[in-house]
Structure 1
């Protein structure tokens, strides 16, 4: 499954990933400086949320594309197997973020 994202969607995901990258660098710095545990965990949780949101955005885009492709090619009974296979793959991706 090839994922094609619109420019604005791609930009939003990349911005989230860059934010998470900065937060992770901040966590490393904080730990090296011996900062307060609560501050470190708070920053780490923020980075985790940013990564989760980026992952969910990518998966949601993939799901949207799969549904659009499925509706566009008018599959019948044989398509049900492909849809089930795709559903299982997307479910696995969602669970990998949980």
Structure 2
């Protein structure tokens, strides 16, 4: 779009749309991870998964 000299505002809207789509995928993946992998590891007695999860959430919130 930049090479085609598209209006900057239009490019910014595209970037915003892409970020929103990626956030949606990330939220869904996090939900699935919590409901499966994290629950399973906690049920197995692995509480280290909580620290791992907190680190992951902190990275997502940057």
Gaps of 5+ in 2: none
Distance in 2 (CA, whole Å) between partners of 1:95 and 1:50 is 19
Deviations 1:61-97 (A, max 9, x none): 1111122x234x5xxxxx3xx22x2111112222222
TM-score, normalised on structure 2? 0.75
Which residue in 2 is equivalent to 1:90? Answer: 53
**May I ask how many residue pairs the two structures share in their alignment?**
59
Higher helix proportion, which one? 1
By how many angstroms is 1:52 displaced? Answer: 1.4
Structure 1's consecutive aligned runs of 4 or more residues displaced over 3 angstroms after TM superposition are none
1:1-98 maps to which residues of 2 (within 5 A)?
Answer: 30-65=1-36, 66-67=38-39, 69=40, 70-71=42-43, 73=44, 79=45, 82-83=46-47, 85-98=48-61
TM-score, scaled to structure 1: 0.52
* RMSD of equivalent CA atoms: 1.6
Higher relative contact order (CA 8 A, sep 6+): 1
Q: Secondary structure at the match of 1:31?
A: coil
